[in-house]
Amino acid sequence: MRQVDTYKNKKVLVIGLGKSGVGVAKLLNRLGAFVTLNDANTPSDFTQVDELKADNIEVITGSHPLGLVDEKFTLVVKNPGIPYDNPLVAAFLTKKTPIVTEIEIASEVLTGELVAVTGSNGKTTTTTMIKEMLATGSENNIYKAGNIGIPMSDVVQTASEHDTVVAELSSFQLMGTPTLHPHIAVITNIFSNHLDYHKTRENYVNAKMNITRNQTADDFFVINWDDQEWQSLSRRSHAQVIPFSRLGKSKVGAYQENGKLYWQDEEIMLSSDVNVVGEHNIENALAAIAVAKLSGIENDIIKEVLASFGGVRHRMQFVMEYKNREIYNDSKATDIEATEMALNGFNQPVILLAGGLDRGYTFEKLIPSFKEHVKAIILFGEAANKLAAAAKSAGINQIKFSENAETAVKIAFEMSSDGDVILLSPANASWDQYPNFEIRGDKFIKSVEHYTGKEEE
């Protein structure tokens, strides 16, 4: 870890008592800052709070007192999920107090190399593929961190100058990273997500593009080349642009052609040998191939990793086969495009379980995929009726409603036949019924296990 004096004897407020908030509070404390950690909720267990206080970190829970604005903090580190119109955050903005996210502090003290991955969809899978390729092909330590559930603040305190951190970064995290400088930055794709947070698509795109803002000609910017907008965005980067293309629109970097995956003119493997289903996973594999080749990883290792890759929990996760039906958990599909990609990855008839938080949009974009792939649909949550309207327009006759993702399981089995796929791919966030998509997916799997009497594979 690089020792910096930036925060020594400075008052810093950390907002949010989650993993990343606790991690960055401890890191700042180690760097000599006077740290206050604030959370709006009152914890049910004060063990962690007591440990923080024992390290001379002040902890305030139960509300966001506006009086904190007058405490002469020189910096605010904000939990990424807390919006900028939160009254306490807005008050600090009015006062022009710098506001960053945990990633900013962590990246500043990282002595090793940083590979940063973002995108509307596919970033968790791509991050994991990259980590496994680099770890298999390197003698040094390769760490996975960021939005994937492991605070980067924890990792950087262990990583040496010879190690690499592969970080999944969300648009929320990237908004607070003024000095972030990855050696390799990856954008898997950009659609229109989180507009309830970002307000406009332009704001969302700009947040994503922060991943390459500080890159130079000595760095690499790996970006999906299969959309004209994404090609245009690449011109905003000062790094060496490395395209990847499932549709073969560029042969400068990684691409697919005639059922094979290539790096420039070099054949890597057959597309069919990638062990996770779906064309979107071909895109993820191509992005990972580009990073691996830029990092000097041998082709045999790349092929070995992709041929054995088991996927990521909650992202097109194969749960089990039961009575000639394949069951998949794609709870991480919290937007339309993710569900569209999931459906297009199957040739078999699909019994689709979908629904969740109503963010105000409708689902006409899913109609072609519904027509081509969906045999029956079971809907739940706030967005159920809007999804039902799209399903009716697609000509789906078997439309059922369920209380939630768990109760939908029994209905799905009853509606299915030999050779069908039962797929949880909600196309919506989980927050109307579940704390997060992970819990939604876990409860779906538990319900499948209960119904079948088998454990997930």
Distance CA 104, CA 7 (A): 13
110 pLDDT more than 80 = yes
> What is residue 272's DSSP assignment?
G
What is the CATH architecture assignment of 11-100? Answer: 3-Layer(aba) Sandwich (3.40)
Could you tell me the two tokens for 173? 């995290």
The predicted structure's pLDDT at residue 70: 96
The annotation status of 121 as a binding-site residue, yes or no, is yes
The annotation status of 124 as a binding-site residue, yes or no, is yes
Q: What is the dihedral of CA 345, 350, 355, 360, to 10 degrees?
A: 60
Distance CA 112, CA 161 (A): 4
**Parallel/antiparallel/unpaired status of strands 260-263 and 254-257:** antiparallel
Kindly state the average pLDDT of the residues 428-434. 96
Task: Give percent above pLDDT 90 in the chain.
Answer: 92
287-323 pLDDT, tens digit per residue, is 999 999 999 999 999 999 999 998 888 988 989 999 9
Token look-up 């689902």 returns 363
The predicted structure's pLDDT at residue 177: 97
The annotation status of 417 as a binding-site residue, yes or no, is no
Closest CA to 312 of 118, 87, 127: 127
The annotation status of 119 as a binding-site residue, yes or no, is yes
Residue 146's H or E segment, with its range, is strand 142-146
Kindly state the average pLDDT of the residues 161-179. 97
Could you tell me the two tokens for 368? 């072609």
Residue 51 amino acid letter: E
For the chain, the structural domain boundaries read 11-100, 105-308, 317-452
Fold: same for 105-308 and 317-452: no
Paired residues of 75 in beta bridges: 12
Distance CA 438, CA 358 (A): 18
Kindly state the average pLDDT of the residues 40-57. 94
The fold of the 317-452 domain, in CATH, is Protein-Tyrosine Phosphatase; Chain A (3.90.190)
Instruction: Kindly tell me the burial class for residue 352, based on how many C-beta atoms sit within 10 Å of its own C-beta (0-12, 13-18, 19 or more).
Output: buried
Distance CA 209, CA 175 (A): 10
195 pLDDT more than 80 = no
Closest CA to 444 of 353, 321, 310: 353
Nearby residues of 121 by Cβ (< 8 Å), 6 or more positions away: 188, 189, 191, 280, 333, 335, 337, 338, 341
The annotation status of 212 as a binding-site residue, yes or no, is no
More confident residue, 246 or 276: 246
Distance CA 417, CA 425 (A): 19
Radius of gyration of the chain (CA): 23
What is the CATH architecture assignment of 105-308? Answer: 3-Layer(aba) Sandwich (3.40)
Per DSSP (E only), the strands in 9-97 are 11-15, 34-39, 58-61, 75-78
